[in-house]
């Protein structure tokens, strides 16, 4: 049995989460009724996560910008199809991951349109990109960043060798910290399939980075 304080804290947390969910449901219904303000509020709640994933996947701000537009326009046009059967976040990510997968598939079929190689020692396009578009994470350590630059370049190159689905699962797990079950729901597949994708992605990355250290 849980101690009384823990039980109370859990109950309070559950209640707060239920209230947030109710608020969000009301917001979604308002947006479904045609309110642009409500839709834009929903965008503001989630778009930084979406943009982070898009930047991570594309490594090009122009492409990330396009994916962002395409994903949210799809959400806007299909909002009336959202039936509250899952969380809005999951539904939104279903759309976003589809857009990202399409992008990765297009890119893998056009070798000339690959993401820029990460910056070399002299600093290249990728460095400009991160300098311009991304704040360093608050916990970042400049010395560690410098030491890891070469490794980062190798990891980025290795990630380009993953299949679109493996890449997406890896990004969502590693950088977004999502559980595989949630990723499965978002991708419209089973947890088992996602586990296989992560396993294969890890194996490929291990092989690509073999002998580096």
Partner 1 sequence: MSWTGDNSQEGRRQDAGATTSPAACAEFERRLTLYVWQELEPAERAAVERHVAGCAGCAAAVARERALLEQLSTLEPAEPAELFVAQCRRSLARRLDRADASARFWSRLRELSRPAGWLTARPVWTVAALVLFGFLAGRYFAPGGAPEISSEVSGPEAGAGDSTAPASFLNSSITGVQRLPGGTVAVRMTREQPVVVQGSPEDSAIRGALLAALQGSGTPDPDARIESVDLLRGSRSDAAVRSALCQAALRDPNPSVRLKAVEALHGLESEADVRQTLLEALEHDANPGVRVEAISALRSFLETAPGEDWTRDDAVVRVLRDRAHKDPNEFVRLQSGAAMRQISSRDVQ
- Residue 198 interacts with partner 1 (CB under 8 A)? yes
* Terminal Cα distance for the chain, rounded: 48
Residues 64/54, Cβ–Cβ less than 8 Å? yes
Under rule CB under 8 A, which residues in 27-46 are in contact with partner 1? 36-37, 39-40, 43-44
CB < 8 Å & 24+ apart, contacts of 124-128: 126/59, 126/156
- Count of other CB atoms within 10 angstroms of residue 136: 11
Name which of 51 and 187 has its Cβ closer to partner 1.
Answer: 51
Distance (Å, rounded) from C-alpha 193 to C-alpha 199?
A: 10
Residue pair 24/88 in contact (Cβ under 8 Å)? The answer is: yes
Nearer to partner 1, 4 or 44 (CB): 44
73 binds partner 1 (CB under 8 A): yes
**Does residue number 105 form part of the binding site for partner 1 (CB under 8 A)?**
no
The nearest distance, CB 4 to partner 1, in angstroms, is 25
Residue in 43, 41, 68 with CA at minimum distance from that of residue 56: 68
133 touches partner 1 (CB under 8 A) = yes
Question: Which chain residues interact with partner 1 by CB under 8 A?
Answer: 36-37, 39-40, 43-44, 47-48, 51-52, 55-56, 59, 61, 64-65, 68-69, 72-73, 76-77, 130, 132-137, 140, 144-145, 147-148, 151-152, 155-156, 173-175, 179-180, 195, 198-199, 202-203, 205-207, 209-213
């Amino acid at each position: 049995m849980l101690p009384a304080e823990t039980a109370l804290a859990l109950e309070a947390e559950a209640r707060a989460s239920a209230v947030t969910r109710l608020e969000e449901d009301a917001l979604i219904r308002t947006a479904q009724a045609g309110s642009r303000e409500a839709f834009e509020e929903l965008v503001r709640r989630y778009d930084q996560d979406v943009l982070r994933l898009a930047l991570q996947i594309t490594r090009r701000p122009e492409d990330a910008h396009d994916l962002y537009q395409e994903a949210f326009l799809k959400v806007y046009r299909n909002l009336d199809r959202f039936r509250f059967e899952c969380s809005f976040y999951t539904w939104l990510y279903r759309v976003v991951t589809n857009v990202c997968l399409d992008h990765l598939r297009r890119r893998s079929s056009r070798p000339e349109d690959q993401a820029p190689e990460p910056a070399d020692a002299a600093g290249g396009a990728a460095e400009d990109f991160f300098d311009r578009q991304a704040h360093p994470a608050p916990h970042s350590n400049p010395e560690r960043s410098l030491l890891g630059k070469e490794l980062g370049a190798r990891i980025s190159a290795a990630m380009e060798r993953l299949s679109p689905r493996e890449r997406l699962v890896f990004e969502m797990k590693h950088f977004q910290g999502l559980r595989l079950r949630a990723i499965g729901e978002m991708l419209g597949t089973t947890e088992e399939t996602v586990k296989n994708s992560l396993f294969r992605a890890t194996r490929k990355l291990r092989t690509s980075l073999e002998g580096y250290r």
